[in-house]
């Protein structure tokens, strides 16, 4: 199983606080752009600050919004999300230098990456009579 995972998923070994700090520095310096491949509802619920939303199911329509002169770090729902791997492959096929982050937005926030919305489900309240 491990060989299968390593054959299909091209992931960094692990994401830690130091790696997230470096990613944040590179995004701020304009060297890297984050691309959120998740559906609109998930992006709206919370995403890393500055991430470009390019949902995987409409990725081709969003390619022009992704700077071709920067390294692209794409993400979706987490380490073994097939959508992230396929989206990263499609970004590369479009000529972009793309890497699969191999982590969820919540994982980034846990290590101190700033967010542009709360990364938690909306509160459900009961209707009053």
Q: Which domains does the chain have, with CATH numbers?
A: 31-116 (3.40.250.10)
pTM for this model (two decimals): 0.80
> Which of the residues are catalytic?
76
Counting every residue written for the chain, the total comes to 129
Say what the pLDDT of residue 102 is. Answer: 87
- Give Cα 4 to chain centroid, integer Å: 23
Contacts of 7 (CB under 8 A, 6+ apart): none
Query: How far is residue 49's CA from residue 94's CA, in Å, rounded to a whole number?
Result: 24
- The residue ranges of the chain whose pLDDT is under 50 are 1-11, 120-129
For residue 118, the SS3 value is coil
């Amino acid at each position: 199983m491990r060989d299968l995972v390593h054959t299909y998923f091209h992931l960094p070994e692990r994401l830690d606080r130091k790696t997230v700090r470096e990613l944040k520095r590179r995004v701020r310096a304009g060297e890297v752009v984050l691309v959120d491949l998740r559906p609109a509802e998930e992006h709206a619920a919370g995403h890393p600050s500055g991430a470009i939303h390019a949902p995987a199911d409409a990725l081709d329509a969003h390619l022009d919004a992704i700077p071709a002169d920067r390294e692209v770090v794409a993400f979706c729902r987490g380490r073994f999300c097939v959508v992230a791997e396929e989206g990263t492959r499609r970004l590369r096929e479009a000529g972009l230098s793309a890497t699969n982050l191999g982590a969820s937005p919540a994982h980034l926030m846990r290590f101190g990456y700033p967010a542009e919305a709360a990364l938690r489900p909306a509160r459900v309240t009961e209707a009053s009579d």
